[in-house]
Amino acid sequence: MTDFTRTKSLFTIPDGLIYLDGNSLGPLPVGAAERVGRMLQEEWGKHLIKGWNVAGWMTQPRRIGDRIARLIGAADGTVVVGDTLSIKVYQALASALELNPSRRVILSDSGNFPSDLYIASGLLQSLDRGYELKVVDPEDVDAAIDETIAVLMLTEVDYRTGRLHDMRALTRKAHIAGVLTVWDLAHSAGAIPVDLEYAKADFAVGCTYKYLNAGPGAPAFIYVAPEHADTARPALSGWMGHQAPFAFDLDYRAGAGIERMRVGTPPIIAMAALDAALDVWDGVSMADVRDESIALSDLFIRDVEQNCPELILASPRDGTQRGSQVSFRHPEGYAIMQALIARNVIGDFRAPDMMRFGFTPLYIGEAEVRAAVDVIADVLAHRRWDNAEYRKKALVT
Ligand SMILES: Cc1ncc(COP(=O)(O)O)c(C=O)c1O
């Protein structure tokens, strides 16, 4: 059994704060602050350029990739860390398209994160080979998979509603139709059990700043199934993905396997935070995380619906069909969320009317859920959100 009291003690969360936004940015792990300090002083400060060799900076993208692989059902040597998620989406999609050269349609859904769709559109424009991006409603994806599709590109958990796609079933259907798959695990990794090998996903990408708690702007990861790893062209052919970066050849030769998905110099300070954040997962069972996340989310839904009838549930009611977040709709959702934040209950808002609350058992328990509902009920019952201050839109919502 996972000891969630222990995991909670591994995070720095300000007293009195109920943090229900780990689906957007995880809180600071105690060990990350210490590790980054040590990295700066001991590694960068003392080793300087020697750090690339003596502190193992050069091999971190693969070593840390292996640690993430264990959390997403992937084998060692199939995941590498670096760049941002948007960049990894570009690489995965471009590589997948090249592996299916006779087809011209990319299938995605309207529940995908806009950046993934923007990246796809931009890539298709650059390729200028008559590609089409077909975007259907999430419930229509299954029926839209056919022999015209080159790549199915989906985010497993919908960032707005938390609705979960069946990765294994959709991948199987895609493969039968000769379609390759690219899965975005931004809201899955560290939130729900993921088994890429079992699902037979071709490519997967994800970020580490949400449920993996590695900090704002932390590096992303990419997975390539072993059968594609030595044939996929990485699209962004940077020197760190070259077979021999320090040979300084004028011609690009892709590195072996997943190494080729590296692009440029890895962000070593951010890698230190990520490495320490992953320590939190030692001794944690993802099945326990899932059970507890569903229990907390169900409790939240039940209590909110009992106490705040004006909020409309936007997430699937069945916990097995959700990721690790719950969303409620209200036309004044933005102002309500600002009023909650002012009262130390932190969630976030996604236009046009969605309030999101993330449930992360590593540091959230029943007491926090109940206390949060009390605050939400009070804010609604007394219209405490009805204040011009709370309607002022910030840059980040
Ligand atoms: C599902 C999904 N995909 C892609 C992105 C974009 O990631 P990044 O800004 O790290 O490139 C996000 C950001 O939140 C996301 O939630």
| Mean pLDDT over each residue of the chain, to the nearest integer | 97
Residue length of the chain:
397
Phi and psi based region of residue 368 (left: phi greater than 0; alpha: psi -120 to 50; beta: remaining): alpha
Burial class from Cβ neighbours inside 10 Å (0-12, 13-18, 19+) for residue 216 reads exposed
State the Rg of the chain over Cα.
22
Q: At what angle do helices 114-127 and 85-98 cross, to 10 degrees?
A: 50
Q: d(Cα 280, Cα 3) in Å, to the nearest integer? A: 11
| Ligand 1 pocket member 85 (CB < 6 A) | yes
| Ligand 1 pocket member 21 (CB < 6 A) | no
In the annotation, is 67 catalytic?
no
Contact 50, 236 (CB under 8 A): no
In the annotation, is 134 catalytic?
no
Assign 285 to helix, strand or coil: coil
Ligand 1: atom nearest CA of 155 is 1
Model confidence at 397: pLDDT above 90: no
Dump pLDDT digits (tens) for 65-117. Answer: 999 999 999 999 999 999 999 999 999 999 999 999 999 999 999 999 999 99
* pLDDT computed for residue 191 by the predictor: 98
CA of 115 to the centre of ligand 1 (A): 6
Model confidence at 325: pLDDT above 90: yes
Does the reported pTM lie above 0.95? Answer: yes
CA of 367 to the centre of ligand 1 (A): 30
The two structure tokens encoding residue 24: 């957007």
Percent of the chain past pLDDT 70, that is, above it, reads 100
